[in-house]
Chain A
Amino acid sequence: MPDPAGHFGPFGGRYVAETLMSALIELEKAYRKAWRSRSFHRELDGLLKNYAGRPTPLYFAERLTEKAGGARIHIKREDLAHTGSHKINNTLGQGLLARRMGKRRIIAETGAGQHGVATATVCARMGIPCEIFMGEEDVRRQSHNVFRMRLLGARVNTVTSGSRTLKDAMNEALRDWVTNVRTTYYLIGSTAGPHPYPEMVRDFQSVIGREALPQFRRAEGKLPTAIVACVGGGSNAMGIFTSFLRYPRVRLYGVEAGGLGLSSGKHGATLSRGKVGVLHGSKSFLLQDANGQILEAHSISAGLDYPGVGPEHAWLKETGRAEYVSVTDAQALSGFSLLSRYEGIQAALESSHAVAFAYRLAKSMRPSETVLLNLSGRGDKDMGILMELPEGGRP
């Protein structure tokens, strides 16, 4: 748990313009009240079950396990959740909260568009006007999701500043929020941003681990040896890690975007290569130059193409509780292909990073050991990117 001001060790906190401070304090109060309220949880649980399709299954990946010839691989199927990823867990929670707070408009940033789609979905469900900020580069490479958001009635604002990706979308969302702060709810999609977002998003996503823990015990009669999840801002990873933090023997692996390789300088491996700094309201690791200017990240997956990372991940890295590794664009494509050919599951390119590492890890482990892989989303949105690649991304 963070301290009352939202610090995870030296990380986190609230580094925002004064205009937003009272809104964050109001949000924190409303969130604490809702989290204690039975009626809030009744409503949220009902929606998670009947609307989002939870619990998502835990699936034993038999052929992938055989192919790896090492540890037994189980997959938590967040790709089967409504809208195609784990993002719906958080948007339902915050959507209900926004309605309780009487906010008349919801805004959100999105990278891959999964959070944008999940936000637009919840706004449609609740009848609240919705505006999504998305970088021009991401609008291009994830056009499928842009189309979905528009069909859901959301307005998609294309952001043309900076690297035209997730970082810049978040800048614009913050500018909108500071202007319309009295009426607008800012629905952040990752365990990043100022307090209370990292804690709140983690809490809403922690349903993943709360389900996976008993599911895994039923399947294997024990806890997993290792858990693997991809990390951009870090929401799906925190979602599955949280329930297992109290079991120190369970190894936790966060997989960052290695892009074209860490030595190329074109990557999104914030925890592996970043330095401590402040961006988008919290202190964490950042890709930055010697003068404190933020560097552009690179990844084939829009959702991991972010130069920051959630503060709790920074803390888990500092304390050594979790390990952070990276997987390149090319390795992620192999991960996608493996899961597609051996299990008939087409993962999002973000999640494919976790697949690639989980496979490599399982290979190095004993058959008596186990790997729990969090498959955060499905790959339909990435067909355009794959089609543009030579051989359609087939290795």
Chain B
Amino acid sequence: MTAIDAAFRRLRTSGERGLVVYLTAGDPTPAASLRYLRAAADAGADIIEVGVPFSDPTADGPTIEAASRRALSSGMNVPGALELVRRFRGTHATPVVLFGYCNPFLRYGWPSLCEDAREAGVDGFLVVDLPFEERGEALPAIRKAGLDWIPLAAPTSGMARVRAVDRAGSGFLYLISVTGVTGVRKTLPPEVAAWTRKVAKATRLPVAIGFGISSPALAAAATRYADAAVVGSACVKIVERNGRGPRGPAELSRFVRSLKKALR
């Protein structure tokens, strides 16, 4: 059983829904981003997605795109993200998913990446532009290192694909709530509930729903049929506003607490 499995088992036992927090590694600097990661974990995030910045993040909206730019200008890259996780691991046990785009991972090389990631304390990988069909180059190395490969399902996927990615993946299923890029949304369309319910019923993995979830109320509504909510851009906006400022981690901590409260 992986750390991510254990987290969902614990959530199920306690009857609460999980909170997955996304933050971009190195945003705005490596040291500041470690403070934000720790604040999120201390405030009750059940899983943390650490985003590896990429120069061309085509699945991300303006908020995370800007965070990626800030992180890249602070010198962040795959080795830096691994170092960040290693330092976070020194103080926290919260499961970490490395989130990113194919190319930086491919350049590092999947076999050595997975070994180094496990050694740094990473628990799983989520690669936005590596669909089920192309998993062959990464999945064996991920499995060999005993890490989880978090699959994605989208509103356009259709149930046959949802079942297939559910079977191929492990840890949890990342359910994309709406067609589009990442980013804060005020509301989610009404069909999200029925769609989530259908997916949750048809899959074996815990379901974490993400994209557009920006407030405790939305997180609660989105997880009516899901096991967890992923909150990314709304957290990144706090980093964007505060930067390296001393009040940033405290503000993130308050926000994460409010989200977690709504999920209990």
Interface residue ranges, A against B (CB under 8 Å): 5, 13-23, 161-162, 167-168, 171, 174-175, 178-182, 275-281, 286, 288, 290-294
Contact = CB atoms under 8 A, between A and B. Distances in A.
A19 B108 CA distance: 26
B158 interface: yes
Interface of B: 54-59, 61, 65, 72, 77-79, 101-108, 128-134, 152-158, 161, 165, 176, 179-181
A17 B132 CA distance: 10
Contact of B156 (A22, A277, A286): A22
A181 B107 contact: no
Contact of A14 (B104, B107, B133, B158): B133
Contacts of B158: 22
A278 B129 contact: yes
A171 B102 contact: no
A275 B104 CA distance: 12
Given A167-B56, A175-B58, A181-B179, A18 B153 contact: yes
A194 to B, nearest CB: 9
B80 to A, nearest CB: 9
A280 B54 CA distance: 13
Given A162-B55, A278-B102, A291-B77, A182 B156 contact: yes
A171 B154 contact: no
Sort A-B residue pairs by CB-CB distance and give the 3 closest, nearest first: A292-B107, A292-B104, A19-B154
A299 to B, nearest CB: 18
Q: Majority SS of interface residues in chain A?
A: mixed
Contacts of B131: 14-18, 21
Contacts, number: 120
Contact of B103 (A17, A21, A175, A279): A279
A180 B101 CA distance: 22
A179 B179 contact: yes
Contact of B157 (A21, A286, A292): A21
B154 A17 contact: yes
B56 A19 contact: no
Nearest to A19: B154
A16 B181 CA distance: 12
Contacts of B154: 17-19, 21-22
A181 B158 CA distance: 14
A288 B103 contact: yes
B106 A281 contact: no
Nearest to A276: B106
